[in-house]
Amino acid sequence: MAGGLNSRYSGRNKAFIPVWGKRILDRLYEVFQEVFEKIILVTNDPLKYLEWDLTIVTDIFPYRSSLTGIHAGLFFVETPFAFFAACDAPFLKTEVVEMIVGSIETGFDIVIPETSSGFQPLCAVYAKKCIRSIERQISQKNFKIEGFFQSQRIKRIPEELLRVKDPSLVSFFNVNTPQDLAMAEASLSFPDQDDPGLKPTN
């Protein structure tokens, strides 16, 4: 999902921010190519993303929020489940995505990592049938992602299992501000190194 306002980054598009010389979206695209046959990008600025080989869609509802982005993704996806990630997570690991997707199970509507920081809703799997609950919530102008969780069957992936694939949980680190990026680049000596100083953010 790349539809945020980037207000905490002075309006700069975080998807295009370079981390060690490679844009965040390029990093995510490489991970997704390893795992998925089809990649969908949700954005309200589609012309900016034509260089990538993916399907571009826009929000259905006229509100800018992560929840409306999830709704749009589910609206256009053709499979029973879809994995969602935000465009500001430069250290997302293929192994973590594979673990989450591999945990899809009949009888559950959401497969979501849970760390000491709480649920990680922008690194999770949602069933296409969640769309009706999301629509009801958006119609009430409640844009908190976890607002519709109580009506869904949730499969949690606990932190101890996540750390097997990502010991420092860097997959859940988001670049929300220039300070976040500076901390990330200063804390990690090279792109694939885990670092206990980086904490998951929501």
Q: Could you give phi then psi for residue 177, rounded to 5 degrees?
A: -140, 165
Q: Among 10-19, 97-106, 193-202, where is mean pLDDT lowest?
A: 193-202
Of the pLDDT bands very low, low, confident and very high (cuts 50, 70, 90), residue 104 is very high
Of the pLDDT bands very low, low, confident and very high (cuts 50, 70, 90), residue 4 is low
Report yes or no on 31 lying in a domain: yes
C-alpha 117/C-alpha 4 separation (Å) is: 22
Report yes or no on 176 lying in a domain: yes
What's the rounded mean pLDDT across residues 31-44? 96
User: Mean of the per-residue pLDDT values for the chain?
Assistant: 89
Task: State pLDDT tens for residues 121-154.
Answer: 999 999 999 999 999 999 999 999 999 999 999 9
**Exposure of 147 by Cβ count < 10 A (0-12 exposed, 13-18 middle, 19+ buried)?**
middle
Give 194 or 94, the one with higher predicted confidence. 94
* Structural domains of the chain, count: 1
The strand pair at 22-23 and 18-19 is best described as antiparallel
C-alpha 8/C-alpha 54 separation (Å) is: 27
Task: State pLDDT tens for residues 108-125.
Answer: 999 999 999 999 999 999
Report yes or no on 121 lying in a domain: yes
Q: Report the share of the chain in percent with pLDDT over 90.
A: 76
Which residue segment(s) compose the domain that 60 sits in?
Answer: 7-187
The residue type at 100 = I
Q: Is the pLDDT of residue 12 over 80?
A: no
Report yes or no on 202 lying in a domain: no
What's the rounded mean pLDDT across residues 37-49? 95
CATH number at residue 141: 3.90.550.10
Between the alpha carbon of residue 30 and those of residues 22, 93, 181, the distances in Å are: 11, 10, 20
Q: Kindly state the tokens that stand for 54.
A: 């993916």
Q: Look at residue 197 in the predicted model and tell me its pLDDT.
A: 46
Report yes or no on 89 lying in a domain: yes
Of the pLDDT bands very low, low, confident and very high (cuts 50, 70, 90), residue 188 is low
Q: Is the pLDDT of residue 174 over 60?
A: yes
